[in-house]
Amino acid sequence: MPLLEVEKLTKNFGGLIALAGVDFYIKEGEIVGLIGPNGAGKTTTFNLISGAMRPTSGIIRFKGENTTDLKPHQICKRKMARTFQNVQLFFHMTVLDNVLLGSLFGALERMSEAKREAMALLEFVGLSVKKGIQAKDLAVPEQKRLEIARALATKPDLLLLDEVMAGLTPTEITSAVELIRKICSKGITVFMIEHIMHAIMDVSDRIIVLHYGKNIAEGTPEEIAANQKVIEIYLGK
């Protein structure tokens, strides 16, 4: 049974069709990339899966359960977490307190244990020395790592990463790829949107390609790199 399965997923915004009958699955332990040109429907897909939006039609199953109509906090309690294309932090709270909120999600009585978990996660993402500063004072790459740490604090089985490498330098991209591999090695399945093609090709086990709200290709990085339709979309005929 797939960890995540979407069936005929469709989302309309008035007369605009953002997604049109998308089907795919994600198996436990995979790193799966979601790529496509701007406006292809990638972030809409994440919004539907995470409960931020409801689909016009279609079904989303997580661990075999129909989660199509659940709210974000209900989905998070089922062990799915996400980051955002535009970083969503509590910018006037400290780095530690941002992660602590994730650790305490649904369990406010476990403060001492939550603090230990939060510190361990800050160490994991390389931010432990900045635990006491406000999130707004971090550089953008650090803010992205903090958002990942906060998501990990909820103990997800599936982590959705929305363009965590956007705006990073080549060295920072290499570090981000290493972090994603470390996350997967902890038993967490990763589903990620990314425009940095060499990075997503390097880190993904499998890649799904969207174009105008439809799946147009799916396969290993090698298969996607050789797919003529994908090449035409990204490079032109």
The identity of residue 127, as a single letter, is L
Can you tell me the distance from the alpha carbon of 31 to that of 159, in angstroms, rounded to the nearest whole number? 10
CA 179 from chain center: how many Å?
13
DSSP state of 170: H
pLDDT of 15: 86
pLDDT of 110: 73
Residue 215 pairs with which residues in a beta bridge?
A: 210
Kindly state the tokens that stand for 218.
């799916």
Q: How many CA atoms does the CB half-sphere of 88 hold within 13 Å?
A: 9
Q: Give, for 18, the enclosing helix (H) or strand (E).
A: strand 16-26
Go through the domains of the chain in sequence order and give each one's CATH number: 1-79+158-237 (3.40.50.300), 86-155 (no CATH)
pTM for the full model?
A: 0.94
Q: Phi first, then psi: give them for residue 94, nearest 5 degrees.
A: -70, 165
pLDDT of 38: 87
pLDDT tens, N- to C-terminus, the chain (237 residues): 899 999 999 999 988 899 999 999 999 999 999 999 988 999 999 999 999 999 999 999 999 999 999 999 999 999 999 999 999 999 999 999 999 999 988 666 677 788 999 999 999 999 999 999 999 999 999 999 999 999 999 999 999 999 999 989 999 999 999 999 999 999 999 999 999 999 999 999 999 999 999 999 999 999 999 999 998 887 666
